Structure 1
Amino acid sequence: MLYRQIEQNKRKTVLLVLLFSVIVLGAGSAVGYLGFEDLRLGVIMAAIILVVYVPITYMSASSQVLRMSGASLANKETHKKLYHIVEDLCIAARIPMPKIYVINDPSPNAFATGIKPEKGAVAFTTGLLETLNREELEAVAAHEIGHIRNYDIRLMTISIALVSVVAILADIGSRMLFTQRRGNDKKTHPAVMIIALVFVLLSPLAARFVHLAVSRNREYLADATAVELTRNSLGLQNALRKISASSLDVRKAQNATASLYISNPFSKQRKKKNTSWFSTHPSLESRIERLSRM
């Protein structure tokens, strides 16, 4: 059951990434038609923005997230138990030891970052370290190690960049529609014009939905990986219950980084019982139900 769940989540992620690619190409084509009546020019424009924007986001994302969260390197002597837990899990996961950070925040939460295992980092709030017992802390650490091992951070970083690219293309398309086309007496096909306009207007929303779907899917996969590493689903179930029970927000969390945390850092979103298209994480009930079947 566990390995079937992992494979199913991986297949879903591939399909979502393909859908993301279609949205980016579609947005570029729509911009090309609205601005130049040439679909190819729009695709070329999208490719140029991708080549410039994605690498910048890719290379700087990890340092930005750690800086925004107020994370500081954990002291090996002060947090000896945490170091031992992460070290043991990395041996089981067969990845290099990531840097360990602590965030001075009473809300229990954690996240991982790093575009590849060799540059991985895990961060835990002081609230999490104080709230969870060793079994639960090990489960949370295993979840974050799972994100690193599965290259989830790389995928989510690229996903965030693609959302931004689609938003840029949509903005360019909207501006072109009301500027360059003025005085243009070339005939356009009404149906194609309407489709292009709808695509420009709705593509940012569609890209956001796909990004959040990828985020939720990777949370399920990291949960499954945590069970694989610890051979214990109860530890993670109990940890998620304790995290979700907190009424505190992670103080320096932002909407742009919310999907990175093990549970939504904003208490109002965290306590929602149902998973919606706008959810960064699956609902607590859904995650626990899946964990109980592993």
Structure 2
Amino acid sequence: MFAELRLFTLLLSKILTADDFRHPIDKQNTLILRAIPGLNELGKALLGSVAEQVMLLENIGTSVLVSKNQLSDLHHLMVEAAKILSVDAPDLYVRQSPVPNAYTLAISGKRPFVVVHTSLVELLTRKELQAVLAHELGHLKCDHGVWLTYANILALGAYSIPGLGGLIAQTLEEQLFRWLRAAELTCDRAALLVAQDPKVVISVLMKLAGGCPSLADQLNVDAFLEQARSYEKASSSPVGWYIRNAQTRQLSHPLPVLRAREIDEWSRSPAYRSLLNRAAQFNSMQKV
């Protein structure tokens, strides 16, 4: 069964494009960012070779580079996820940190890299960890890494503009966070396409919200989804809607319960089933 599932997902990679799973709000906010005059040019100027070298050397000097000969299990998880999503596998670094996190950097069109913190590795199962890697690969599939890096530096640079600099930066920052929250929902979908099990993705979100290795075997995905539904109901009133927006406006990621609800709904959607049906049809054509 596991081998058949992997064959199915590898066939999916032959037909998969970023727009097949991109969240609608991500599409909308990406268009808004692209419409900002001079964003690309300014981003390229700010992200010169010096900044690139600083980030590269920082990771080489303080992290462990994963390869066939170094942490080979993680290397296999990354390569397999990259094949399913039809992207080139980036460099993968493991970095010592007590804060569970993973992130992607893509600079000036050079080889991107993903960094995973040791505490996240300790917190997750191998399937969950691959879902995280797939999430990061989703950023690369959709060119999120480049946009995120450019927009962050642009926002910082805008504060130095006399007079309206702070206002420009604040406006751009809010716009950036709106886009980034939508981009995270897109990449959760990429994680689902690799995991092929919504409970694996939701379990990652649950553990990031309140998990630790000693409690991992007691956590319940269904109970977390019920919690997500309760939040949705509580925030549906006018006052709840205001509080919810105040909670999330300055966040780079949607709340974990909202992400869990989103991925659960997409896993049941006609769009997701249609994508899997296309893969099945492609499979049938290959056998003829």
Bin the TM-score by the shorter chain: 0.5 to 0.7
Q: Deviations over 1:146-170 (max 9, x none)?
A: 111111110111111321342232x
Q: Which runs of 5+ in 1 are unaligned?
A: 26-46, 175-198, 248-271
* Number of the residue aligned with 1:232: 197
Q: Where do residues 1-294 of structure 1 align in structure 2 (5 Å cutoff)?
A: 6-17=22-33, 21=36, 54-57=44-47, 59=49, 63-65=53-55, 70-74=62-66, 76-115=68-107, 119-169=111-161, 171=162, 174=163, 202-245=167-210, 275-294=247-266
**Are 1:96 and 1:117, in contact at CA under 8 Å, matched by a contact in 2?**
no
Aligned to 1:31: none
Amino acid at match of 1:229: V
Deviation, structure 1 residue 231: 2.1
Identity %: 20
The answer on whether the counterparts of 2:43 and 2:153 sit within 8 Å (CA) in structure 1 is yes
User: 1:188-246 CA deviation, whole Å, 9 max, x = no partner?
Assistant: xxxxxxxxxxx555222212211222221211111112212332222111012112225
TM-score when normalising by structure 1: 0.63
Q: CA RMSD in A?
A: 3.2
Query: In the TM superposition, what is the alpha-carbon distance from 1:132 to its structure 2 partner?
Result: 0.8
Conserved? CA contact 2:47–2:107, under 8 Å: no
- Give the aligned residue type for 2:169: P
**How far 1:57 sits from its partner (Å)?**
1.8
TM superposition score normalised by structure 2: 0.64
Deviations 1:58-105 (A, max 9, x none): 655555445557433135445121111101011112222211101012
Shift of 1:8: 0.6
Classify the secondary structure of the residue corresponding to 1:81. helix
Question: Residue 7 and residue 212 in structure 1: after superposition, are their counterparts in 2 closer, same or farther (change >3 A)?
Answer: closer
Larger Rg: 1
Unmatched 5+ residue regions in structure 2? 1-17, 213-242, 267-288
